[in-house]
Copies of this chain bind each other. A is one copy, B any other.
Amino acid sequence: RIMRPDDANIAGNVHGGTILKMIEEAGAIISTRHCNSQAGEACVAALARVERTDFLSPVCIGEVANVSAEITYTSRHSVEVQVNVMSENILTGAKKVTNKATLWYVPLSLKNVNKVLEVPPIQYARKEQEDEGKKRYEEQKLDRLETKQRNGDVIFPVINPEPHTVGYSQSSLIHLVGPSDCTLLGFVHGGVTMKLMDEVAGIVAARHCKTNIVTASVDAINFHEKIKKGSVITISGRMTFTSNKSMEIEVFVDADPFVDESRERYRAVSAFFTYVSLSKEGKPLPVPQLLTETEDEKRRFEEGKGRYLQTKAKRQAQVQQAAR
């Protein structure tokens, strides 16, 4: 579809969140279709996890985004979908790969939302494809367990913060979940949540560096808990790490099902977003260093540095492998 002014920031770059939302919609359609392809109980595929994805090149207003999706692995209760996004300038015909994402979906019964149904198996062209898929499946399962434990953290507001401290740029947003945000089951689309997360992360990044910023990558996101229609969700973001040219922002999503008094507020999702600052010509700009004050902030900065160096090393390995 054509990118509109509302999809983009004032410099004309389409928000990473808009792209994530399109990716998730494509994934939800293909996996819901697959899970209903055999006779049996009707179901809707719900997003369980998005693997780490890089935004390779910015998309602009007026360009067309082409989204294609393919099922690459099925376990008994989950579907792995690979989604590719190409941006196309329809005036020049130029096409660029924007990003490639891997998503995991779980089929939930239309009659009983708490019941996970079985996934019809797909056919693999080669045996290795199945084995590699199984390996990816086991890896993401482990990672899901891990993040579940990390999930207790809360962001406290800071009064009169100094520029470039964590408190200075931290932001939070509340959103009342409406019908258009939801699937047929009455739960928020994963893509809607990711779009709001990107919005908050972008505000944190812009408050820190006061320039035009774009999403560079998103770490793996796990969707631990469903969010029901009518809930209020609070999306909070704080900066955790800065390198010379990038900022890492941690984002939490908390749901408050306040028409349903039996449940307390709970953490539904958390993730790390990385942003870069761009000049008017689209070149990366240096970023002011994050000033850490408390012990926790210093620890998170070091953890962020670890993730940054790990990603950098991985990317260099890939480049070397490609060059061989």
Interface residues of A (CB under 8 A from B): 1-2, 4-6, 9-10, 25-26, 28-29, 32-33, 36-37, 39, 42-44, 61-62, 64, 88, 90-93, 110, 156-157, 159, 163, 171-176, 178-180, 182, 184, 199-200, 202-203, 206-207, 210-212, 229-230, 232, 256, 258-261
Contact = CB atoms under 8 A, between A and B. Distances in A.
Contacts of A110: 91, 259
A202 to B, nearest CB: 7
B2 A5 contact: no
A33 B257 CA distance: 9
B91 A29 contact: no
Number of copies: 3
Contact of A5 (B42, B92, B179): B179
A254 to B, nearest CB: 13
Given A2-B203, A10-B61, A37 B180 contact: no
Given A10-B229, A184-B230, A203-B174, A29 B5 contact: no
B42 A259 contact: yes
Contacts of A9: 2, 62, 176, 230
A238 to B, nearest CB: 14
B259 A29 contact: no
B91 A42 contact: yes
Nearest to A12: B10
A25 B199 CA distance: 18
25 contacts: A1-B1, A1-B199, A2-B203, A5-B178, A6-B180, A9-B62, A10-B179, A10-B259, A26-B174, A36-B90, A36-B93, A36-B261, A37-B93, A64-B171, A90-B206, A91-B211, A93-B207, A171-B174, A171-B232, A172-B174, A173-B174, A176-B199, A206-B232, A206-B259, A212-B259
